[in-house]
Every structure is written in C-alpha cells, then in structure tokens.
Amino acid sequence: MEQQPASNPPTAPDRGSARDRGSAPGRRAASDPRAAIETVFRLEYPRVIAAVARVVRDVGIAEELAQDALVAALEQWPRDGVPDNPGAWLTAAARHRAVDLVRRRENYARKLQEMGRDLQTTTAPPEEPADADDIDDDLLRLVFTACHPVLSAEARTALTLRLLGGLSTPEIARAFLVPEPTVAQRIVRAKKTLATRNVAFEVPYGPDREARLGSVLDVIYLIFNEGYAATAGDDWLRPALCEDALRLARQLAALMPKEPEVHALAALLEFQASRTPARTAPDGSPVLLRDQDRRRWDRRLVARGIAALERAGATSPSGPPGPYALQAAVAACHAHAPTYEDTDWTAIATLYGLLAVRAPSPVVELNRAVAVSMAEGPGPALGIVDGLAAEPSLREYHLLPSVRGDLLVRLGRPAEARTEFERAAALTGNERERELLLARADECRRT
C-alpha cells in the first residue's frame, strides 16, 4: 500500500480546476469585463476580506463588504472600463465601505482613533493600496482567525476554504459530500463564534503563535489529504483540493518565511503532489506506490519540495525537527529513490520512530509498521500492527486491516489476508479503493 499521511483526513470531491482562477485579468479586461471581474475577485478575495476585517474586526461583516465591492465593480467596470489595478480597486472600495460602516456605529470615536488616517479619507478610494506589506499582514491575520482553535475542525476547514480558497458554499458542499445547508450553517456558526467570543483579528506571538500555527498547518494538510486520497465518493483523487492546499501552503510560507514548520509543510505537499500523475491508471483506478512509474512523477515539484525542505532546515539550525519536517523527510526519501525497492526504508523507519516521539499517534505507528516491513521483514511489522488492534481510533480505519492483509500475504497466509482485505473494503467510503481491496481479496482467494 502507498504510505498514507500521518494524520487523518476529512472528506471532499473534485470541482473546477484551480488553474481557472490563475488567468491574468488584464488580458481579458478589454473584451470581457465581467469575466475579468470574476477572475480578479477569485484571486483577490482573501486579500479584500483580510484588509476589511482589520477595520471592522469581524470576518462575517468583512465578507459582506467584499461582496458589496464586487457588486460595485459589476456596475462600474462594464461602463467605465477595468482599472489598471483591479485588485487594489476592490480592496479600496471594500475598505471605504468599512469606514462608512464604522462611522455609523456608536463607538465611532474609539474606532476613529484606532484606524488613524485611514478614516480621514471620505473621497473615492485610491486605486493602489498604501502598503503591500500591510495587505500581507492582514492576510496572515485572516489565516490565523479562520483557523482559530475555538472552532471545530470541520468549521475551520470550511471557513478556510471559503475565506482563503475563495470557494462558494455549493463548491464546499460538493467537496465534503454534505448538503449545502450543512456547510452554510458551519460557516455562519463559525463567523458567529468568532464574533461572540471576541476573537482578536491578529497574528499571535510567542507560545500562542506556536499553538495556533499548528491548527493553521493542520487545516491546510487536511484539505490536501482529502484531495490526495479521497475518503468517499467515486474518485480516488481530487486534484483541485490538492491545488488549493498547495497554493495556501506556498502563500503561508511567503508570509511567514522564518517559520520552519511552514516551509516543511510546503515541502511535504510539493513532494506528495509530484506523484499525482502516476497515482491513477487511465481508467481512474488507484496505482499503489510500489507500482507507480516514477518517470511520471513531476520533477519540477520534487525540486520545489527539496528547496522548501532546505529552507525549513536553514530556519531551524538547532533543536529537533518538527512533525512536518519529519514527514517531509520521509517524502524526500521516496522522491530520491529510483525504484520502490531502492528506497531507504531503514531511514524511513527511523524517521517514523522520531515522529512517534515528537507527535505520537496510532496512524504514525501504522506508517512505521509499513516501513519496518520493508526494512526488516513482514514479521516484525505484523507485531506492531497487531499491537494497534485495540486502538479505539483505528477501529473504523480501513488502512489497519489493509496493511495487515498485505503483511499476511507476504508471510504466505492468503486465507487470513483475504479476510483482512474484505474487512478493509467494507470500511472504506471510497469506491475506487473498495474495488482495489476487493480485487486483492479475490487474488488471495485464487491463491
């Protein structure tokens, strides 16, 4: 089996490619202003909300004001032409509305003092932001706010995809295979919780930052994991979710260049994403790591992963590596190996041993068992897997019987392996993976 991520993924299906959001608006503005507006809004949505949230201190209100700016653009751009810097126009227009809103509030005097000279401008908003660094700081604040620990993991993921990924409620609903009202309620409740709990729109420092940063990285990783190995549905991969998570990780690394675990997460996702072209057969069925044609791995992404991992090491010259650095090092071992058999499995087993100390979990131990099976043989690995049988968190985890079945096959016990593969097939929610597991069970039956 291909090694799975060291944390449990949530759920999510495919949608339109994120590449559609990356086209340059300037090339389309002259002939199709509405298309330019849609493209710019997709690209600039997080920055607009971040800039406005700094003024109103409420992400829900900030999103409404961002939508108001979009309406203004839809009214003015087709008539007056697309501005030279459409992203700055949207940001300034939304902030101008935020200023007007704050001025109408009873606490106008206090807000006026906080916002300083920004509130002194009552004329049309400027085309350019005052300071690009301020916008980036605002975006960083938005990241930490959307992933605040007061929210549930599901709410953090949905809100992150909404505010930072620019996804609509229907898109997120399709991603999580849940009804649209469910997603809408999660987002509304998340915004309300942030407001009622008076969560500060800020980047924490010291121990608070370390605690909050873990939540931010986990949400991005969970989004990627669901795209990398979908937990439900008919598709094995959902590339658009991987693209969204990878884009967020790169963005976070640019905003926080001195945080080693941020670079480590980016490295991990670059390495994992590099395998995407080889992970499915032409019919969409999964191709396990041992059977993948490594010539199809994206070497450009591998090079990016190596560079990001080096940056992680350079920003943390002393002290033990963090969990994402260790997982990225595991992925790097796979990336450097010309074949599955040539992989340095001893090094990978050691890395998982360190990860089990740094961030212990039953899933990490299961991954270590896979590495031990290749480094030392299936016998020692089976002992590790059997020791996990009583773990409550793995009771419904299909990869536990799947890995055990693979070890039993290698030990020459096909009848027992067949039972494990059938049990794993019954536990998985992904149709492609179920077909793969049942095929392996059938092989055991024929043996």
Report the pLDDT value the prediction gives residue 177, as an integer from 0 to 100: 60
Dihedral sign of CA atoms 382, 231, 289, 419 in order: positive
Please name the residues in contact with 23: beta carbons below 8 A apart, sequence gap of 6 or more: 39
What the block records as the tokens of 230 is 């979908």
Measured between alpha carbons, how far is residue 174 from residues 87, 123, 157, 168, 241 in Å? 28, 42, 14, 10, 11
Report the pLDDT value the prediction gives residue 179, as an integer from 0 to 100: 84
Contact indicator for 135, 50 with CB cutoff of 8 Å:
yes
Whether pTM > 0.85 for this model: the answer is no
Contact indicator for 92, 72 with CB cutoff of 8 Å:
no
Looking at residue 20, the DSSP 8-state letter turns out to be G
Distance CA 351, CA 338 (A): 20
Tens-digit pLDDT string for the chain (447 aa) = 454 544 433 323 233 333 333 333 343 444 566 777 777 777 787 888 888 888 888 888 888 888 888 888 888 888 888 888 888 888 888 888 888 877 776 454 555 556 555 544 434 344 334 444 444 578 788 888 988 989 998 899 889 888 887 778 887 876 666 788 999 999 999 999 999 998 888 888 777 777 788 888 988 898 888 788 766 666 767 787 788 889 889 989 998 899 999 999 999 999 999 999 999 888 888 898 999 999 999 999 999 999 999 999 998 777 789 999 999 999 999 999 999 999 999 999 999 999 999 999 999 999 999 999 999 999 999 999 999 999 988 888 999 999 999 999 999 999 999 999 999 999 998 888 999 999 999 999 997
Residue where the block lists tokens 């961030």:
359
Distance CA 43, CA 46 (A): 8
What the block records as the tokens of 298 is 């994206």
Residue 364, amino acid: V
Report the pLDDT value the prediction gives residue 110, as an integer from 0 to 100: 54
Residue where the block lists tokens 């992925």:
331
